[in-house]
Chain A
Amino acid sequence: MMWQTLMYEHAELEYPNECCGVLLGNKDTSEICEIVPADNTDGYDIRNIHFAMDPLKIYKVERMALERGLEIIGFYHSHVDHPAIPSGEDERYMIPGLLYMIVSVEQGHCADVRVYSKECDQDIYIYSGL
């Protein structure tokens, strides 16, 4: 199955909470090959508006990816009944150079997806719309 389909399914499955996961691929070409869904580790009461991933989980994912010649090239998460635009908090957590994909889930269905990337202390650019 295509990684896009998996990501959309993950986002819809987690609705009305935000989902999150890792984008694996080839760093040089920024080509996404697959996704690894992760748990949203934020508190039950705020998972509809916040998400967080366990850093040790990311560590495991990147070790596994390496064995298969892949690399973490970014992360995805969903916005619940909100546009696929990064919040101020999203921006503060962005690591320069990585891709950040946001899926907007409206009424339980994926409505939009956008990708962002940040250069060091520069504005955020929309890398591409899918």
Chain B
Amino acid sequence: MKIYISATLRGFFGRHEIIEIEGDSIRALLGGLTDEYPDAKEALYNEEGRLREFVQIYAGDENVTSEDKWDNVLDNNVEILLLPAIAGGAPVESLISDERRKAVSFDDAEIDRFNKHLMLREIGVKGQKRIKAAKVVIIGAGALGSPVIQYLAAAGVGEIKVVDFDEVSLSNLQSQVIHGKRDVNRPKVASAKDTIKGINPKITIVTENVKVEADNINEIIDGYDVVVDCTDNYKARYVINDACAFSGIPLVFGAIYQYEGQVGIFNLNQGPCFRCQFPAPPPTGLVPTCAEGGAISPLPGIIGSIQANEALKLIIGIGEHLDGKLLTVDSLYLHSRILRVDKSDKCPICGKNPSIFEVQDYDYDDFCGLKDEEEELPIEGIEPDELAERIERGDKMTIVDIREPHERAIHRFPDVVVIPIGQLARRQKELDPDIDTIFICKEGKRSILAIRTLREAGYKGPMYNLKGGIDAAKDIIFSHEGAWL
């Protein structure tokens, strides 16, 4: 077929205007085109193999740039056009208006305190006034919240709201550096408030000791300039994203898992939202929460500090930021990369056919199949003490540990078959369908998913889920079997 190359793109194709390529679909034609002009490949595709933003493909007057149209069979005589996309956006603007900035003043102590900011050309007095005029909500006063809250307080943000429902526990102290030993059993928001006051008593601090949900999120973020998501679970993330998308408040998102973290900015100036990239949460069973998954101690410090830095850049209106991008940092091998997040036509909030019109509590258990649906067979559970008895009796059964290797290292379960959840379906022959099989994980949630997976794969033997997982079994099984630890 004949492909017309726009003069603006001809440089990549030996200056040819018309190129003849065999093929009856866009995908075939693009393949043929880059085979013939290998240099064009680098120019037309980015590192992830996606077509660069400046390329548009037309079949006649129909735009067929979107990859889901690349396999359609083309009309024989249609003209294929390779055209440029010419577009752009304005550079960063501060979230704080000039009127609000001008209403702010400093005393001598503040000039002294923020001296290091005032020295920077990009921040200066104007930028510092914007910081002081800013109102920021931080949701989650845990691992990510610790650096975010402390740095924003130290940087001089005028009003900080901290939202968290939890209390400080001893195991939090490994990474949640805003709390100390004396704060154990106190509400995290109370401890965070004390820390902020210690940094700068002039900051207006608002705390809410609640879990964010559909019926309180709008009130929580109303009137604030930016929301920093420092939560550790998908349910909260989606509630926060949706509320920010509907109210137009920009969101600085952060997440950590083991050694890796992510930061992104969503809902800025009608830009992409979190759902544009991740339309719906993944099944809980497949994604351990931070509480389940663990993370190296300084990782939230790295990721949270980047979140705080991005929030400040938005407030001041400087630099290049992660709007419509997702930065991934691997702290183990020190890789980092930035993924582009485009506003998606298919997004359930900002897409062409939206299906979500207000913030809803997402029925997580229902979504990921943990709740028994009518047509689905119920999962049979086994209580930890019952399992302990059966082990003691020496019952013939198979115990399958589906946890990750590092989780098993903390609490080892003896005489188990270890099969990671992803391999279950293909390794089902290792299980004896004539005896009971008991599945264990950390919290008893992923094990339910494991049973569902095997049932779907056609496994017929009796399967049981250890209720509450190893967490619930710890005191019962491990207490009189110390050697198991």
Does residue A8 face the partner (Cβ distance < 8 Å to B)? no
Min C-beta distance of B351 to chain A, whole Å: 14
A93 touches B61 (CB 8 A): no
Does residue B77 face the partner (Cβ distance < 8 Å to A)? no
A51 touches B87 (CB 8 A): yes
Min C-beta distance of A52 to chain B, whole Å: 4
How extensive is the interface on chain B, given as a class? 20 to 34
Does residue A2 face the partner (Cβ distance < 8 Å to B)? no
CB-defined contacts of A88 to chain B, threshold 8 Å: 89, 320, 323
A55 touches B61 (CB 8 A): no
Does residue B206 face the partner (Cβ distance < 8 Å to A)? no
Q: Which of B8, B83, B88 contacts A50 (CB 8 A)?
A: B88
A95 touches B56 (CB 8 A): no
Closest to B87 in A: A52
CB-defined contacts of B81 to chain A, threshold 8 Å: 55, 59
Q: Which of A51, A62, A86 contacts B6 (CB 8 A)?
A: A62
B8 touches A98 (CB 8 A): yes
Contacts A55-B58, A55-B83 given: A97-B90 contact, CB under 8 Å? no
For A, the interface residue count at a CB cutoff of 8 angstroms equals 41
B43 touches A56 (CB 8 A): no
Does residue A120 face the partner (Cβ distance < 8 Å to B)? yes
Q: For residues 48 through 97 of chain A, which have their beta carbon under 8 Å from a beta carbon of chain B?
A: 48-53, 55-56, 58-59, 62, 65-66, 71-72, 75, 77, 79-80, 82-83, 85-90, 92-97
CB-defined contacts of A12 to chain B, threshold 8 Å: none
Interface residues, chain A, with chain B CB atoms under 8 Å away: 18, 20, 42, 45-46, 48-53, 55-56, 58-59, 62, 65-66, 71-72, 75, 77, 79-80, 82-83, 85-90, 92-98, 120-121
A-B contact pairs, 27 of them (CB 8 A): A49-B89, A49-B93, A49-B269, A50-B88, A51-B89, A52-B85, A52-B86, A53-B87, A55-B56, A55-B81, A58-B6, A59-B58, A65-B7, A71-B7, A72-B8, A82-B93, A88-B320, A89-B88, A90-B88, A90-B89, A93-B85, A93-B86, A94-B54, A95-B54, A95-B84, A96-B43, A120-B42
